[in-house]
Every structure is written in structure tokens, then in C-alpha cells.
Structure 1
Amino acid sequence: MEKTATLIKPQAMIFDMDGTLFQTETLLLPAYHKLFDILREEGHHEGETPAEELILGCLGMLLEDIWKKVIPDASPAAHNRANELLLQLELEGLSNEAAVLYPEVKETLEELHRRGVRLFVASNGLEDYVKGIAQARGLMPLFEGVYSAGEHGTATKVDLVRLLLDQHDIKDAWMVGDRSSDVEAGKENGQTVIGCRYAGFGEDQELKGSDVVIHSFSQLLKLHDQAE
């Protein structure tokens, strides 16, 4: 754990989903390979499936921006079809027990909820995907709100978190996430940022500006214990 600030006990904690609560690659990669098999069959893509590193490096981005990086030369129709297929295949994949949360996520969230911390999700993903994970893995009853860019039409995570804070009258929150967009969303809204460095998808500078960087999800409980 890397700590650079004295923390205040928050009213709420706001969590990113992919790479923070959910081990995205356990669901994403099987769906990704099936998706390109279908795109080839339908004539939307030729050649090999782009490297897994490309899609993993895009986690946390808006879906429309992901395909611009993964298949930049593809047509808008191919991008739209990829959107449809990825959601369909990932929702189907949630029935597979191999698609998992990070260790101790559920237990830690349950304890935070028991302590009276208000819990939320803020994700740049699609509504059905983000809520589907929370439902399938038994997390939904713990959250006061599950916010997604797909549902609210926000252009950035800064905007999404601002909307969440305003709608729930939250003044003091910890933004918990693994990408620079999470750091920005917390800081631009005047909140504490807890960076998560256990997913391994981001660059070394990804979490620059975080108040604390944790290396396992359960360290949140120790941080909450120590906060003033």
C-alpha cells in the first residue's frame, strides 16, 4: 500500500467495475475471440484477430473509442456490430463460473456496507453489462446506485461521477479505480482517490495523482479503519 495523504472517513465509496471489482479478462477474452470469428463469418473483418493486448489496453475507455483502437480501419457498420456482439457474448459468458471478481471483493464490500458506507459503481461500460455483472455475482443489493456511461450518456467519467454525487447529495467520497480516468474523475470532482494496482492493465503512470495506491482490494478495510 502506497499512501501519500491522511484520509477522512467517507460518506460513500464509488467503484469502477472493470479491473477494480471484476477480473474483466476472465469474461472479455473468450468473448473477444468469439466476436472476431463472427465478424469474419459476416464479412466485417478479414485476417487474424487483433492481439489480446490491444483490447486489454483499452479497458476503462468508452466502447466507441475501443473499436477505433482495436480495428481502426473497419467500417462504422463493423464497429456497431462489434458493440452488439460483445455485449451479447459477455452477458452469455456471465453464466460461466470462470468469469470472476477479484479476491475478497464481495466480502470487503459486505463489510463496508455493514459499517454504513454508501456504495456505488461508476463505469464507462454499457448499462446491461455493468448491471449484469453486479447481478450475476450477487453484488447488486450492496450498491445504492450502479451508474454507467451507457445508461446516462456521459462523455467522460468526470461527468458520470459528478452526476452520481449530485443525485445522491454526496460531499465526501472515495473514488476507487485502476485507470487514469478514475483518478481524473475523483480529483476533478474534489474527492479522494484510491488507486488499484492489482489488475495490471495500465501503464506505470496510470495512477499518478492517487491519494493512496492499494495492491489488494481488501486493503480498503485497513484504510477505512485508519481514516479519521
Structure 2
Amino acid sequence: MAQSFIFDMDGTIFKTDTILERSLEDAFIHLRSLNQWDSSTPIDQYREIMGVPLPEVWEALLPDHSNEIRAHMNDYFLERLIENIKSGKGALYSNIKEVFSFLKANDCSIYIASNGLTEYLSAIVSHYQLDNWVTETFSIEQIDSLSKTDLVQRITEKYKITDGVVVGDRLSDIKAAKENGLVAVGCRFDFAREDELSQADKVVDDFSELKQLLQHI
């Protein structure tokens, strides 16, 4: 039976850590050049909050800075992320394209719902030609509430999805699935947490496991 699959991007499809540290270091070098930072780059702190919308990232990393500085860093960091993607410094997780091809061959629809910004997501989709399989990519920018649950709801309403699966690595993905009446599949990848994954209906260690999952839905 045909199914709809809604995938998270960072830490699920795209190995964000391949460009994360590089881009964040670039951003904080820039911040130091503005005499607005005098210590090491807070990469560990960012890993702790990985997956939240970028404006929230800068509120957490720069709690004592002005909104103007946060907005500037948000823009600069995004520029560095996109440049690193376009220059081929990132990577997808293993078996992504193979599984996407399998799902499409079985009449499944594929969507992306991400806390990433539109320009960033477009760079990934374009560089890796994901639009060969993905029907549409949705960014948290499209939702005033910045809620992954609301973003998934937007997809289900637009495409009239009543049966489907949300695949992601964090609690926001799992909640988005359950609060929209969909199956929650957790990915035990780089940024996943076991206490969050325990709330998923199914947990996978590799994308290839989604092939077997499809047969049991």
C-alpha cells in the first residue's frame, strides 16, 4: 500500500556534523573579528541544542548579546553553511538515495519537514538532487509558531495525508508524528538521544531498515 514519508533533514538525511563545526568556527572567527567574542567556539553547546530553529540557536549561544548581533550571526552562519554545502564538504547518511528510490518505486510520497531555513534546505536538495524523489521540502520558516508539529500538519493538510510516517532523530519529530496521527520512526544517528528515541514507534540504526518497515505498515 502506498504511504507518505515525511523526513527531517539535519541528523536524519543530511550529516550536518560534516559542515557544522567548520561553519560554526567560521562564524565565531567572524564574531571575534567584531570584538564580540573572546573564548573558544561553543561547538559542544550547539550539539546539545542541535535541531532547534536557528534564531533559537543564537539566543542560546549568545544570551548576553543584542538581537542585532544575533541576527547578524544568524545570517553569517547561514552563508557559511550554504557555501560549505555547495563546495561539497557535507554528506548524506548512508543509503539515503537507495531508500528514496525504493520508496518511490513502491508508490510512496516523500516530503521533508525541517527546522532549517529555506535557503539552507534548498542548497542541500539542489546539491544532492534530492528533488528527484522529494515531492516538496517544507521549512520551519513557513510556520509562525516555529513548531515541527504544526509544520507536519501543514504537509498533511496540503497533501491530504491520513496515513504516513515521520522519520527523524529528535523528540520534535516524534511528537510531530504522534500529534498528527502518524507513525513515528526515530533514527539512532549522530544527534539522537535514547530518552527521546524511546518514545518513537520504531527506531532504526540505518536507513536501509526503512525498506523492511514499509512491508509491515
- In structure 1, distance between residues paired with 2:175 and 2:216: 24
Alignment-derived partner of residue 118 in structure 1? 109
Alignment of 1:34-49 (within 5 A): 34-49=26-41
Answer whether contact 2:2 2:106 (CA < 8 A) is retained. no
Amino acid at match of 2:59: K
Alignment of 1:1-228 (within 5 A): 11-50=3-42, 52-199=43-190, 201-227=191-217
Question: How far is 1:71 from its partner?
Answer: 2.1
Amino acid at match of 2:208: S
Answer whether contact 1:10 1:173 (CA < 8 A) is retained. no
Aligned residues: 217
Closer, same or farther in 2 for the Cα pair 1:45/1:162, shift >3 Å?
same
- In structure 1, distance between residues paired with 2:29 and 2:118: 25
Question: How far is 1:10 from its partner?
Answer: 5.6
Amino acid at match of 1:204: E
Report the TM-score, using the length of structure 1 for normalisation.
0.90
Answer whether contact 1:157 1:181 (CA < 8 A) is retained. yes
Report the TM-score, using the length of structure 2 for normalisation.
0.95
5+ long unaligned stretches in structure 2: none
- In structure 1, distance between residues paired with 2:2 and 2:176: 16
- In structure 1, distance between residues paired with 2:58 and 2:72: 11
- Three-state SS of the structure 2 residue aligned to 1:103 is coil
Aligned identity (percent) is 32
5+ long unaligned stretches in structure 1: 1-8
- In structure 1, distance between residues paired with 2:183 and 2:154: 17
Residues 13-50 of structure 1: CA distance to partner in whole angstroms, max 9, x if unpaired?
00000000010010111110000001111233232222
- In structure 2, distance between residues paired with 1:10 and 1:182: 21
Task: Between the two structures, name the one with larger relative contact order (CA 8 Å, sep ≥ 6).
Answer: 1
Instruction: Let me know the Cα RMSD of the aligned residues.
Output: 1.4
Shift >3 Å, 4+ stretches: 151-154
- In structure 1, distance between residues paired with 2:192 and 2:208: 20
- In structure 1, distance between residues paired with 2:176 and 2:198: 13
- In structure 2, distance between residues paired with 1:58 and 1:207: 16
Question: How far is 1:151 from its partner?
Answer: 3.5
- In structure 2, distance between residues paired with 1:82 and 1:10: 43
